[in-house]
A and B are shown apart, each in its own frame.
Chain A
Amino acid sequence: MIPISYYFALSAILFSLGALGVLIRRNAIIIFMSVELMLNAANLLFVAFARANGALSGQVMVFFVIAVAAAEVAVGLALIVIIFRNRQSIDIDEMSSLKG
């Protein structure tokens, strides 16, 4: 049996990588993927705890997260496609026209 702290560490590494990706990359697609990475780090932890505690609610939660993430990806990619059509670029730093 692999101890829970391993999962914890793996999940923390994955989450940090995702967060780092969101903060330092400029490509919208990459940022998107990093967000997915963070979500899955959380999913991993949910599943690990569910397994360790013998409760199903953590696993049910993961299903919800996956479903919401799928919806998010659909909307997010659609937005990126429209932005690209308008600007021929998906560099996130160029999308600052809402600045006051």
Chain B
Amino acid sequence: MNAFALVPWIAFFPLIGLVINLAVGRRMGERFSSIVGTLAVLSAFVVAVLQLVSLQSHPDGAVVHLADWINIGSLQIPWAFNVDTLSVTMMLVISGVGTLIHIYAAGYMHYDVRYKEDPGSFTRFFIYLNLFIAAMMILVSGNSYLMLFVGWEGVGLCSFLLIGFWYSRNPDGTKGLLNSQAAKKAFVANRVGDFGFLLAMFLTFWAFGSLSFDQVLPNAASVDPRIIMAITLCMLIGVTGKSAQLPLYVWLPDAMAGPTPVSALIHAATMVTAGVYLVVRSAPLFGAVPEAGNIVAIVGGVTALFAATIAVAQYDIKKVLAYSTISQLGFMVAAVGMGAYVAGMFHLVTHAFFKALLFLGSGSVILALERAHHPLDGHHDDHHDHHDEHHDDHHAPFDPQDMRNMGGLRKQIPATYRVYLIGALALAGLPPLAGFFSKDEILTDALHANMLVWGLLTAAAFLTAFYMGRQIWLVFFGEARTKAAKEAVESPRTMLIPLGILAALSIFGGLINMPVLHPLTNWLEHTLGHDFAHATVFNFGVAIFSTVLALIAIYVSWRLYGRKPLLAGEADPLKKRLGFVFTGMENKWWVDELYDAVIIKPYRRLAAFLADVVDWRFWHDWVHDSVIARGFGAFARFLAEPVDMGVIDGVSKGLAALAKGLGRGFSLLQSGYVRNYALMVFFGVVLMIGYLVFSS
């Protein structure tokens, strides 16, 4: 007995939750909406656990065919759910972390919708979250590249909707369109990546005649490696879009405009790992051309280091985490590029735990400051108008996300502090937390596979420990630098419980692929096969080296930020020491400005040129007016005067004149004298007979 037939419910439960909330959620209130939304994801989690249990006895999994979707000639795309160890791992992470974040969001959004003065949006938030979970489930469970793409686009849409959730505001809460622009940026950057993915799909169908995994992946060896190279490189473009790698990573930092649970769920734990999942799923393709794998690994390694340098100099608590996410995704992409698929998946899972923890923790910190800055009374809705005025003067100058406005928070919000510290240490990679095991597995594999990538990743790991140390010192230690930080309020239990669970997962998550036993390796081997899922022998040298490096980084951060805490209004101590380099990191190496100058501005100029000159002046003014309108006028006149009045009228008038003339001529013959007629008959007969006689 196995539960594989239940697998469609992982997508249908969230959809049911969505439909209920869409229909009645707003009327039934916040409690109802949040419970429906959470239960929907929890049910999906239960289904995923049932799949896990079933896979224990049938490790090869199954494909559950739900309906036919596209059936054209040789293109057969069913709507089928693929249950195997890889997809179930993803399902568990998505629905598990998703459930915790839904619970957290019920607490967080209660305050957020009131600070944004739009309590009705509470239900909308849960609708989007459930839609996201459904789309993500379709992404990981699809049994063909096209079903994967459906989910891929679905999560992209949800990402767009949720980044622009407060679409009429700026990230600092004032009225404006910056959130909408961030959403648009994410959508456009992802579209560039999707284009690559689409090309990869077209090539796949052309080369393999199918898009289904079980027909494409086993036949990778029978296709020209150059075509596979093209497919994998096009896929890499899709990966750089969705998983925020160089050069398309720019949307992810701006995506922090979304509410914090969204940053945790979509832009740290699940959606951005879709690219990693895609590479792992396509392991036989990437395995067939090692050059493509190398390129992927180098892209990942460079991204990891590059984003880590930017994270060092950010002041926004969520921006640090955003660049950290890009950096950690770089680790995963580098790992899967090198062929260390299990290490990549392992880091994906542990990263989902501790990065969700960190984001949710940062949300708790932000909320703590916000609540101290302008406390809500219990009867907010009754005093709405009064509140409004008083709200807007408060809002503008204070940024609750700026770490320079924090300091000393460990005394005010001790529970948040403790879980945040666990998350930070896990990310820094200190043993025995989850991040240590997964990161070390990647570094060990890198040492064997590619020294350049190993160097990049080790440097990134050092910076990771450094910027997390900096963040901890700046946020939780020293003295409060603002009044709000002094009076910060601990978050409600609905937010702290998920944080506690995630903290536990961040501590013990390393066990899922602990050295010696390698449970995750053995588990994924059923899907990936032995070639792509080899156990990495635990390397004490690498482990000690990276641990020492992390400790040094934390010590350096303590020397800079911990020993003599930052005072209000003081410049970052690193700025004095690094000078220009720090300015560069602070300004994100001007990549946005570079893209603006190289791509967006010329593109806008091209668009303006096309609109003003080509469309308006050339097409409308010149072609329409001069060529079409005047040309048509001239043509019409030509048809009217010479053709109609000349030729056609001439023909009909000429025919009339001819008939008249002929009539007049022939009427002369009609003399009325019978003898004339008789004479004519006589001559006629003579002529005929003469003809008959003389012609023969």
Chain A residues near B678 (CB-CB < 8 A): 22-23
- Nearest-neighbour CB distance to chain A for B675, whole angstroms, equals 6
Say if the beta carbon of A82 comes within 8 Å of chain B: no
Report how far A23 CA is from B673 CA in the complex, Å.
11
Chain B, interface size: which category?
10 to 19
Report how far A97 CA is from B672 CA in the complex, Å.
7
Chain B at the A interface: SS class: helix
Say if the beta carbon of A67 comes within 8 Å of chain B: no
- Nearest-neighbour CB distance to chain B for A13, whole angstroms, equals 16
Say if the beta carbon of B667 comes within 8 Å of chain A: yes
Chain A residues near B682 (CB-CB < 8 A): 19, 22-23
User: Are A100 and B667 also in contact (CB < 8 A) when A19-B682, A23-B679, A23-B682 are?
Assistant: yes
Asked whether, in the complex, the Cβ of B674 is within 8 Å of the Cβ of A95, the reply is yes
Asked whether, in the complex, the Cβ of B675 is within 8 Å of the Cβ of A99, the reply is no
Chain A residues near B696 (CB-CB < 8 A): none
- Interface of chain B residues 643 through 696 with chain A (CB within 8 A): 667, 670-675, 678-679, 682
Report how far A66 CA is from B528 CA in the complex, Å.
120
- Nearest-neighbour CB distance to chain B for A17, whole angstroms, equals 13
Q: How many residues of A contact B (CB 8 A)?
A: 13
Chain A residues near B671 (CB-CB < 8 A): 96, 99
Asked whether, in the complex, the Cβ of B667 is within 8 Å of the Cβ of A93, the reply is no
How many residue-residue contacts, CB under 8 A, span A and B?
27
- Interface of chain A residues 35 through 81 with chain B (CB within 8 A): none
Report how far A26 CA is from B682 CA in the complex, Å.
17
Chain A residues near B672 (CB-CB < 8 A): 96-99
- Nearest-neighbour CB distance to chain B for A78, whole angstroms, equals 17
Chain B residues near A33 (CB-CB < 8 A): none
Name which residue of chain B comes closest to A100, CB basis.
B670
Name which residue of chain A comes closest to B666, CB basis.
A100
Say if the beta carbon of A4 comes within 8 Å of chain B: no
Chain A residues near B679 (CB-CB < 8 A): 23
Chain B residues near A19 (CB-CB < 8 A): 682
Report how far A93 CA is from B673 CA in the complex, Å.
6
Chain A residues near B670 (CB-CB < 8 A): 99-100
Which of A93, A97, A100 is the one whose CB lies under 8 Å from B675?
A93
Report how far A26 CA is from B672 CA in the complex, Å.
14
Residues of A participating in the B interface, judged by any CB pair closer than 8 Å? 19, 22-24, 26, 92-93, 95-100
Q: Could you give 12 example pairs across A and B, Cβ below 8 Å?
A: A19-B682, A23-B679, A92-B673, A92-B674, A93-B673, A93-B675, A95-B674, A96-B672, A99-B671, A99-B672, A100-B667, A100-B670
Residues of B participating in the A interface, judged by any CB pair closer than 8 Å? 667, 670-675, 678-679, 682
Task: Knowing that A92-B673, A96-B672, A99-B670 touch, tell me 4 more A-B residue pairs with CB under 8 angstroms.
Answer: A23-B679, A93-B675, A96-B671, A99-B672
